[in-house]
Amino acid sequence: MEAKKRVFIGLLAVVLIVLAGLSGTLWYLLAARPDAVSRTIVWVVVTALAVGVPVFGLGLIILVWSIISKKSPPALQRLVSITVDALYPFVLGVGRLVGISKDRIEMSFIEVNNLLVKIRSQRLTPDRVLVLLPHCLQRADCPHKITMSLDNCRRCGKCVIGEILALRDRYRVRLSVATGGTQARRTIEALRPAAIVAVACERELASGIQDVQSVPVLAVVNERPEGPCRNTTVNLMAVGETIEYFLKGGA
Ligand code: SF4
């Protein structure tokens, strides 16, 4: 397993071990010191942990097995998603405690997500694939409002929007630009794509992937030579290859 993916998987395992330890401690308090704590509250927590830890443990085992074997049993994909979503905030918390940056965890999560999506090898027609771009890919001083219509772009070459439009024309996929997460969600609701190629920063991608669980998302992290949210760019070859993944059903 690559080092990038190991960060997220390792933290998931640590979270489960901590939750299992917490469950054992509370169980001990119930049995040995019944007056020390409110029994009702502790019973609720112990029961939740007694159910959650084995279920999420199974989800983690399937996740690791999927990554190693490059197979993903469709019936168990939902369990993996539930495990990742339920434990993600704890993963960020443990990461903070042990000094792993949020960006690094988000990047690791994106790598794990991309691999799981690619394993499914879905083959789709172009009209079912949506490429979703952040507005910051456009030059900040460009007078042409691409948020109104992407075809307002004059393809002048000062930013990558023109070349991404060329990719859209070549592959005939849908293309949309969003000014933020809310607009991206609205676009997805309106267009109902079967798959999304999303370009954004690690933070937006990590939260977006979790928001649209029902739609597979292949994420491409943008490049930010002038800092976040301004005059960003993206590896066009990576975008093209990612689109092809969905159109060809694999590499
Ligand atoms: S390619 Fe040129 S016209 Fe198109 S959005 Fe970028 S700067 Fe504006």
Cα dihedral 42, 43, 44, 50 sign: positive
What pLDDT does residue 184 have? 92
What pLDDT does residue 170 have? 97
pTM of the full structure? 0.88
How many angstroms is it from 133 CA to the middle of ligand 1? Answer: 14
Closest-CA residue, ligand 1 atom 8, reads 142
Which of 145, 155, 163, 236 has most ligand 1 atoms within 8 Å of CB, for mutation? 155
Judge contact between 184 and 170, C-beta under 8 A. no
Contacts of 175 (CB under 8 A, 6+ apart): 130, 131, 133, 150, 164, 165, 168
Judge contact between 149 and 221, C-beta under 8 A. no
DSSP code string of 110-135 = HHHHHHHHHHH-----GGGEEEEEEG
Contacts of 25 (CB under 8 A, 6+ apart): none
Ligand 1 contacts CB of residue 142 (under 6 A): yes
Minimum-distance ligand 1 atom for the alpha carbon of 159: 6
User: Can you tell me the distance from the alpha carbon of 224 to that of 30, in angstroms, rounded to the nearest whole number?
Assistant: 53
Which of 136, 146, 158, 163 has most ligand 1 atoms within 8 Å of CB, for mutation? 158
Name the one residue in this structure whose structure tokens are 């690094």: 104
pLDDT by 10s per residue, the chain, length 251: 566 788 999 999 999 999 999 888 888 877 776 665 567 777 888 888 888 999 999 999 999 999 888 887 777 888 998 899 899 999 999 999 999 999 999 999 999 999 989 988 889 999 999 999 999 999 999 999 999 899 999 999 999 999 999 999 999 999 999 998 889 999 999 999 999 999 999 999 999 998 887 899 999 999 999 999 999 999 999 999 999 999 998 76
Locate all alpha helices (DSSP H) within 70-160, ordered by sequence: 74-97, 102-120
How many angstroms is it from 139 CA to the middle of ligand 1? Answer: 6
**Cα angle at 177 between 173 and 180, to 5 degrees?**
135
How many angstroms is it from 136 CA to the middle of ligand 1? Answer: 11
Judge contact between 84 and 217, C-beta under 8 A. no
Instruction: Map out the domains of the chain with their CATH numbers.
Output: 3-120 (no CATH), 126-248 (3.40.50)
